[in-house]
Structure 1
Amino acid sequence: MPRRTPRNTLDRLRTPGRFPGFLKTASVCALIAGLLSPITQVAAAAEATASNDYCGGQCSDILPPGENGNATLAQVLLNQAFGVQPDHAEDQLGPYANLAKGYPTLTNATINTFFNDASFGVPSDQVASTLAPAGRDDVTIVRDKKTGVPHITGTTRYGTEFGAGYAAAQDRLWLMDVFRHVGRGQLTAFAGGAPSNQGLEQQFWRSAPYTEADLQAQIDNAVATNGARGQQALADAGAYLAGINAYIDASDSGRYFPGEYVLTGHKDSITNAGTIDHFKITDLVALASVIGTLFGSGGGGEVDNAVSLLAAQEKYGVEQGTQVWEAFRERNDPEAVLTVHDGESFPYAAKPASPQGAALPDDGSVTTQPLVYDATGTGGTQSASATAAAATASALGSARRGMSNALVVSGRSTASGHPIAVFGPQTGYFAPQLLMLQEIQGPGISARGASFAGLSMYVELGRGQDYAWSATTSGQDIIDSYAVELCQDDYHYLYHGVCTAMDVVEQKNAWKPTTADATAAGSYTMRVYRTKYGPVQYRATVGGKKVAYTTLRSSFMHEADSIIGFQMLNDPDYVKSPQTFQNAVQHINYTFNWFYADSSHTAYYNSGDNPVRASGVDAEFPVWAQAQYEWKNWVPATNTAAYTPPSAHPNSIDQDYYISWNNKQAKDYATASWGDGSVHRGNLLEDRVKKLVAAGGVTRASLTKAMADAALVDLRAEDVLPDLLKVVNSSPVTDSTAAAAVTKLQTWLTAGGRRTETKAGSKTYADADAIRILDAWWPLLVKAEFEPGLGADLYSAFTVNLPVDEAPSAAHGPTGAHAGSSFQYGWWSYVDKDVRAVLGEPVQGGLTQKYCGGGTLGGCRDVLISTLKTAAGKTAAQVYPGDALCAAGNQWCADSIVQRTLGGIKHGNISWQNRPTFQQVVEFTSHR
């Protein structure tokens, strides 16, 4: 289903002209006067105590829009009425945005013009405030003047974690509350029935339909199976929760809690009636389930794969159709860019020689298992609830398809002889941001960096005393689909020959109209049917037998397990080398690529619980739910199994360089994503870093410039357009419209193929016409190139597996509009391989036939010129049709990044950059 611009959680707060009556500007000032309740903290002149720091002032980071993600009601009203920003709400947005124009002249000395100094501690002249939370004498929270980042220093472990919880609530209480409700499928009951709220809770609850008992069981299991570290994690979580709850109590009594609680009806602005519920330990698991679903659960899609395979076999016959399908799938493409590029092989999820147990659906029999029942106040029909479910194109849909990247260079190729890393995760652009910055110093903890709000008892991505680490989403396949044969009725299935009832898990939601959400009162029930093989996702028939397709992932019921790995990463007595770093991240069961740098070494490790599949099972397709096709040593009651050993995961120490942009990890490590072929955005990093390494003398500035340059390049222009123009120019172009378009495209390509402003702040692109032409041309040329050969049905099926385009301006596809992330998913590799074959150039892992123009150079040229003429004639308004933010035809605005509001504060849009949200630039000068 095409994705649309998502609506935010507090939809009515940000939409012009939709303020409820009492919030009209004329009455805002009077209301603010009665609500202002400033939070006072004791200013401190004393210098904050810093632990040993071996970075030598060469660690930097950035996380827009700003550290402060809480706002009182008065601050929300001021922002909505006059655009006034609370302190530190967006002070990191400008430096982040300005790198797009400032990077060409970047030097080591000017890095912190665009990043924060990430040294430990706060110089005495930069201390803005010091707080002893809840009057404790074993922890202080020092905030710096520039960014307001909390620097938490404790003399006891309990006090340290108490301070981390208190600081988290200071900066993200409302967001934390939103997401503990999202994780439980209760957002509409908490924040109102807006379609965006319904979409969010439906998106995540379908994947993690946990009961309260399930959430508690995960805590019990994580503690019980991890000895002393498990017990420490439990104690840390208890102290962290105590800190959160202490802030709730203080802000409630002091009346400086987030204003969204008033706007959603949880608190009364006059009487202060109402409550903000304390946090409990199962809330942390609910939060973790959302983050794990977003970023750490690769795989799935087996039913869609089966549908497209059947379409290919219908078109070409079983043998040839399977070959065509495999060519487009590119599960192990020899031309794909690799993170581990030294030739070492890590076989996983390869196509079996003799596939066994496949359970492909009968043609046309697949239906999606309904999630929503008994809907009222949402239009009263199933289609209305489907519309709400379509809001899985809501704010967080963009984050799931993230653009985390990493550039890490060994000291052998740097000017200083020390490794350099520029890396960070992409968690989308939100207000407030999903991540928050912090420094934590206490017994057994010494780190600075970013953590997900509500899960910040440890730094999850950042730096320690003499090392730094980061992650990108790896997405290897840890999810399988099983066909459970039904018996008795639609809600019983055969498990090992016994007719077994499905478990029914329900979540009922009812809401009333609120100030923040002007929808009518309503309610609905979400219902998931769970089997031992996971939740039911689809219904179908296989060979005439009625089946339910389930989804089983290795991290299901294990969202809390990864806490041990993060605890280790924060422990200076544990991580002392690349090997101990790898040992730490082995304890993280989410699918991530992990990168490490200290003063002498670099390292990489791919984490996740990769199940050992039964012999002959093809992970690409659903298989029968029978004992012989289950994961090895699988125990349904605990969802545990045999997993591939750490040595079988792609890993490396001290490779000359590493790059990652959600690309293929290593040779023979099958990717779970379609399109990991000859052209991938990882090539943009690979080409630049490889060139730097070959020249030697790499610096922090030069590596950052490589990242920033790749962030502005149109992948299609750099890696596909040259061959398209070769075909077009294989004979003189006589058509004037096409010739003019070719000239514009070639001029833009010669200039670098970047989407950049004419000057900073101009909000107008250089080479704007060429960019417009390529944006219009790409979907036209792909369809004209492939649909005639594949046929409409197969072409359509393949576009379900992989969207054709993901340009920055796209309001469709995995990321939706204004999300920043671009060029992760698209048909660039298919076009590249096909056009190179037509040109007679060598192609490894090519398609089974030439498609463009029937496979002849002349025919391909005709197709390209015809579609190019059509594209050139499209107006800017047609290519960029406009939305709630942008007028039709505003090209820059269509590309621009929006901090999607998850609360009451909103920010302006910034120029497009294809880069991580949180980012570090690090070069350690020494080691313990």
Structure 2
Amino acid sequence: MIPQFRKGLQIFGAIAVILTVTVTSLTLYWVTDSWPQQSGQILLPQLSDRVEVRRDAYGIPHIYASNSHDLFLAQGYIHAQDRFWQMDFWRHLGAGRLSELFGESQLKTDQFLRTLGWARIAQQEIPTLPNEFLAPLTAYTEGVNAYLQEHHSTDLSLEYGILKVMNPSYKPEPWQPEHTLTWAKVMAWDLGTNLDEEIERAVLLQTYSPEQVNELFPPYSNQAPVILPDWKIAQKDSKLMGNQLGEITSVETEVPMEAIAELLSPSFNSISEQISALASLTGPRGGEIGSNSWVVSGAKTSTGKPLLANDPHLGIQMPSIWYEMGLHCTSKTADCPYDVTGFSFAGMVGIIIGHSDRIAWGCTNVGADTMDLYIEKINPENPNQYEVNGKWVDMEQVTETIQMAGGKTELQTVRYTRHGPLISETYSKLKPLLVPDLTRNNPDIYAIALRWTGLEPARLFTAILQLNQAQNWQDFRKAAQDFDIAAQNLVYADIDGNIGYQMPGKLPIRTKSDGRYPLPGWTDEHEWNGYIPFEQLPFTFNPPSGYIVTANNAVVDESYPYLITKDWDYGFRAQRILELLNTKKTGFDFESFREMQGDNYNLNAQKLVPILLNLPLGDSHLERIRDLLKDWDFQMGEQSSAAALFESFWTQLLTATFHDNFLADFWPNGGQRWMKVMADLVERQESFWWDNVLTPEVENRNLIFQKAFSAAVAELENRLGKNPQGWEWGDLHQATFRNQSLGQSGIAPIEAIFNRGGVAIAGGNAIVNATAWNARKSFEATWIPSMRMILDLSDLNASVAVTSPGQSGHAFHRHYADLIPLWRNLDYHPMVSSRPGVEANTIDTLILLPN
């Protein structure tokens, strides 16, 4: 929760307590009033034919309609039934309109979001949609609005009762098509972390040499797994590339990068603060956000057909980002080609991850570098001009009107260069800077612009609908061509026994930089040279290995002629998944895939524990406790005392090694990058980084290890007691599901209404069961497997899945948190999809009828 938001809510703290008492006394009316009708009949004049909605024991709906219009209208209606507050909050977030909900406390966040301009881009996309895609979007919008016509205030969701105290005049507006498209921008932003790392590197260059900064952002190891190790661009394609190919070099300019970093440090810090603040609303960025997916061919399964597994890792939240459902045409035709089951986003048309009656697909984040910061020279005589190749050029300007709760408005001017919006001036105004030796022209005013593919009109929406219609590998790849932002590793399987992989995305061709640092924007020297053609993006179909594994690790090796990113996940999870696949080799089934998704093996511990065990501690008490690690299997089970000891040691090791070097914003978060940094560092016992610059002595690796272990034991004895046999990882590592908006208010009575947890859980950072935590803060899980799915292509009705915490967005509803036990215990529910299978699992049936 960003500080302004918390402050704004706490102003109403006393009233909220009174309100909580009122809510308690009116529970039967307020709480249950918003619960959706799940059986019986509802008349909807917007429909052209009868629609059937069947829900199972977990509230998961399957919608049956005779035509596409009614199918997507019903999807909009059902999403609104279960999740409208989430949809309303998300659309205000995406459009930079949080002040309309929560008042002036959200003004700065809205200003930053308006500068990014996601909603403006979404509006530009609407007229470009062919009718075959505009029609489902329009139908979905009709369905949401049909629900809004009959439901208001707490009849929509309990959150509106709380909001009414803060903002009595607020009423949800009708849903618009651009609200759906805007959410794609929010997700693309959430999944793109390169900007954070670009800023961090630039700031660190103030203090450290480029060589030292590179040690903190080490290259991807040539020993780490690559998704497609043997993939090469076809000879005929490489000939087409012509002189676009060339060795990518780091930035070469007349302006030293160290000088640029020092000059712009205040602006970089300001931008970083706003990104961090926004992350409290969109979900945390970086860390362990990513995913696992793997698919094996029928030659390696017990059924003779492929199995596909997927578990996306996203920020923990309440309700889930996912909404599971099925969309079925009662008779598949060219006009109604849908028979899909899987996971949707409330507010988005179609199924994002899942399967049709013939193919299945999963996603993991590529982490492609599609963002660059450009440093612009501003005309001292005219702040609306910037330099391009020695000439002053006018900026484009857009005036935004920000409406706040209570009626107050604020005007904001967003200025654009050829690279994108100026993001440095939303919070810190441009300042005259006199640095005589910085550049040849001695500019005294600067700004920072963001170029990002997500700020260009995109086709992601059409890609999703095409995936939902795909019947084979050719259809799948055709759909992937439009998957242009939030590039994903797409894994594929079909009922004919084929498996495949495609990396889609709109990836810039850089000829003068590797994307790691901000670039001078006043010449053409560092411009993008178009985008990588889709035909030259990595893919494979039925590879000889019989399996494909993606876990945010490198897609291809360094022989690939284009830059995808220099900031891959370092491959710990991919390495472990490959080890498990190669150990078993054949006979894979549901149970073996379940064990893999729940694997808690800690490769970081495997590297560091032997070093720790071989060090003299000089204290018999510490040595007895260290014995917990001697026979440890490196599994991070929730009841493991060794796991608790190691992770406490890991936190203290990062603290002792790096906290003296950085500001708190850049302290290690304990994730996969820092594991790679430490794995390299332990091989150099006298490295500069081991020495604590705040102490008179010169520390080395062994001394820091000893100090960290002693501090870890003291921490655990203080928190969990003096008996190390009673320590459990789950006592430290828990999952608390917090509502993204009101559940992070800092007001205990309100949080108690909307949040659930914590529950002890296994797993951790860079582990297949990726229940990651942030070492800067606590052991509490911040990123989790947001859902797990195992698809069986021999019988799609034998597929299983689980999400968390539940289907419903209504606090106290039976499906608000009922999936947490399944998720926590690595259990699943049946993911049936055929009509007979759905009917056999039906608990409630709702009929939607036209008048």
Q: TM-score range by the shorter chain?
A: 0.7 to 0.9
Deviations 1:204-226 (A, max 9, x none): 445x22565x44222223x2xxx
Aligned equivalents of 1:508, 1:371: Cα separation in 2: 27
Sort the Cα spacing of 1:745 and 1:507 in 2 relative to 1 into closer, same or farther, 3 A. farther
- 5 Å-filtered alignment, 1:518-533, equals 528-533=414-419
Query: Which residue pairs with 2:456 in the alignment?
Result: 557
Deviations 1:107-163 (A, max 9, x none): xxxxxxxxxxxxxxxxxxxx9556564473524141324122222222122222211
TM-score when scaled to structure 2? Answer: 0.74
Give % identity. Answer: 19
Point out where structure 2 has 5 or more consecutive residues left out of the alignment.
Answer: 239-243, 330-335, 425-429, 693-698, 722-726, 743-752, 764-769, 771-783, 797-833, 835-851
Is 1:209 aligned with 2:117?
yes
Aligned equivalents of 1:396, 1:6: Cα separation in 2: 16
Query: Which residue pairs with 1:287 in the alignment?
Result: 183
Sort the Cα spacing of 1:829 and 1:427 in 2 relative to 1 into closer, same or farther, 3 A. closer
Look up the equivalent residue of 1:708 and give its one-letter code: G
Cα displacement (A) at 1:408: 1.8
Is 1:406 aligned with 2:305?
no
Aligned equivalents of 2:412, 2:189: Cα separation in 1: 18
8 A contact 1:160–1:440 mirrored in 2: yes
Deviates more, 1:274-283 or 1:409-418: 274-283
Is 1:892 aligned with 2:743?
no
Query: Which residue pairs with 2:539 in the alignment?
Result: 651
Sort the Cα spacing of 1:632 and 1:890 in 2 relative to 1 into closer, same or farther, 3 A. closer
Look up the equivalent residue of 1:916 and give its one-letter code: P
8 A contact 1:569–1:581 mirrored in 2: yes
Cα displacement (A) at 1:527: 5.7
Sort the Cα spacing of 1:510 and 1:564 in 2 relative to 1 into closer, same or farther, 3 A. closer
- 5 Å-filtered alignment, 1:322-401, equals 322=211, 324-342=212-230, 344=232, 352-353=248-249, 355-357=251-253, 360=257, 361-362=259-260, 364-369=262-267, 391-398=277-284, 401=287
Counterpart of 1:338 in 2: which secondary structure? coil
Deviates more, 1:655-664 or 1:404-413: 655-664
1:179 to 80, 90, 93: 90
1:430 to 311, 317, 324: 317
Cα displacement (A) at 1:345: 7.9
8 A contact 2:88–2:172 mirrored in 1: no
Is 1:629 aligned with 2:525?
yes
Query: Which residue pairs with 1:376 in the alignment?
Result: none
Look up the equivalent residue of 1:446 and give its one-letter code: D
Query: Which residue pairs with 1:664 in the alignment?
Result: 554
Cα displacement (A) at 1:461: 0.9
- 5 Å-filtered alignment, 1:585-734, equals 585-590=480-485, 591-599=487-495, 600-613=497-510, 615-626=511-522, 628-629=524-525, 631=527, 642-655=530-543, 656-668=546-558, 672=565, 674=567, 676-677=569-570, 680-693=572-585, 696-710=586-600, 713-717=601-605, 719-725=606-612, 728-729=613-614, 734=618
1:753 to 621, 635, 644: 635
Aligned equivalents of 1:6, 1:720: Cα separation in 2: 42
Aligned equivalents of 1:921, 1:238: Cα separation in 2: 32
Counterpart of 2:587 in 1: which secondary structure? coil
Query: Which residue pairs with 1:740 in the alignment?
Result: 624
Deviations 1:148-180 (A, max 9, x none): 222222212222221121112112111111111
8 A contact 2:203–2:269 mirrored in 1: no
Aligned equivalents of 2:266, 2:728: Cα separation in 1: 38
- 5 Å-filtered alignment, 1:438-517, equals 438-442=325-329, 443-455=336-348, 457-487=349-379, 488-505=381-398, 507=400, 509=402, 511-512=404-405
Is 1:781 aligned with 2:653?
yes
Aligned equivalents of 1:879, 1:184: Cα separation in 2: 45
Aligned equivalents of 1:452, 1:602: Cα separation in 2: 26
8 A contact 1:138–1:160 mirrored in 2: no
Look up the equivalent residue of 2:788 and give its one-letter code: Q
Counterpart of 1:427 in 2: which secondary structure? strand
Counterpart of 2:368 in 1: which secondary structure? coil
Sort the Cα spacing of 1:161 and 1:14 in 2 relative to 1 into closer, same or farther, 3 A. farther
Counterpart of 1:415 in 2: which secondary structure? coil
Sort the Cα spacing of 1:522 and 1:167 in 2 relative to 1 into closer, same or farther, 3 A. same
Counterpart of 2:476 in 1: which secondary structure? helix
Cα displacement (A) at 1:628: 3.1
Sort the Cα spacing of 1:464 and 1:350 in 2 relative to 1 into closer, same or farther, 3 A. farther
Is 1:835 aligned with 2:682?
yes
Sort the Cα spacing of 1:325 and 1:570 in 2 relative to 1 into closer, same or farther, 3 A. same
Look up the equivalent residue of 2:465 and give its one-letter code: Q
Cα displacement (A) at 1:796: 2.7
Query: Which residue pairs with 1:124 in the alignment?
Result: none
Deviations 1:630-682 (A, max 9, x none): 5456xxxxxxxx211224323222233222332222212666464744x6333
Counterpart of 2:137 in 1: which secondary structure? helix
8 A contact 2:604–2:675 mirrored in 1: yes
Is 1:219 aligned with 2:219?
no
Point out where structure 1 has 5 or more consecutive residues left out of the alignment.
Answer: 37-71, 77-85, 89-126, 224-229, 314-320, 373-384, 514-520, 634-641, 758-765, 807-822, 839-847, 881-888
Sort the Cα spacing of 1:877 and 1:178 in 2 relative to 1 into closer, same or farther, 3 A. farther
Look up the equivalent residue of 2:227 and give its one-letter code: T
Aligned equivalents of 1:266, 1:177: Cα separation in 2: 18
Query: Which residue pairs with 2:817 in the alignment?
Result: none
Is 1:584 aligned with 2:491?
no
Aligned equivalents of 2:700, 2:523: Cα separation in 1: 52
8 A contact 2:420–2:449 mirrored in 1: yes
Cα displacement (A) at 1:291: 1.9
Look up the equivalent residue of 2:393 and give its one-letter code: T
Look up the equivalent residue of 1:744 and give its one-letter code: L
Sort the Cα spacing of 1:569 and 1:909 in 2 relative to 1 into closer, same or farther, 3 A. same
1:866 to 707, 726, 729: 707
Aligned equivalents of 1:862, 1:836: Cα separation in 2: 14
Deviates more, 1:350-359 or 1:142-151: 350-359
Counterpart of 2:758 in 1: which secondary structure? coil
Look up the equivalent residue of 1:495 and give its one-letter code: V
Query: Which residue pairs with 2:793 in the alignment?
Result: 924
Sort the Cα spacing of 1:370 and 1:651 in 2 relative to 1 into closer, same or farther, 3 A. closer
Aligned equivalents of 2:655, 2:315: Cα separation in 1: 30
Counterpart of 2:386 in 1: which secondary structure? strand
Aligned equivalents of 1:860, 1:32: Cα separation in 2: 59
8 A contact 1:338–1:664 mirrored in 2: yes
Aligned equivalents of 2:21, 2:345: Cα separation in 1: 35
8 A contact 2:184–2:460 mirrored in 1: no
Query: Which residue pairs with 1:146 in the alignment?
Result: 57
8 A contact 2:361–2:490 mirrored in 1: yes
8 A contact 1:423–1:921 mirrored in 2: yes
Deviations 1:740-780 (A, max 9, x none): 24212224x23x331413xxxxxxxx31xx44433332244
Is 1:901 aligned with 2:788?
no
8 A contact 1:473–1:592 mirrored in 2: yes
TM-score when scaled to structure 1? Answer: 0.68
Alignment coverage as a number of residue pairs: 717
Counterpart of 1:216 in 2: which secondary structure? helix
Look up the equivalent residue of 2:620 and give its one-letter code: S
Is 1:566 aligned with 2:464?
yes
Cα displacement (A) at 1:523: 7.6
Look up the equivalent residue of 1:416 and give its one-letter code: T
Instruction: Give the root-mean-square deviation of aligned CA atoms.
Output: 4.2
Deviations 1:572-598 (A, max 9, x none): xxx233343223112111221111122
Sort the Cα spacing of 1:370 and 1:898 in 2 relative to 1 into closer, same or farther, 3 A. same
Aligned equivalents of 2:581, 2:688: Cα separation in 1: 33
8 A contact 1:899–1:909 mirrored in 2: yes
Sort the Cα spacing of 1:525 and 1:482 in 2 relative to 1 into closer, same or farther, 3 A. same
Aligned equivalents of 2:614, 2:460: Cα separation in 1: 54
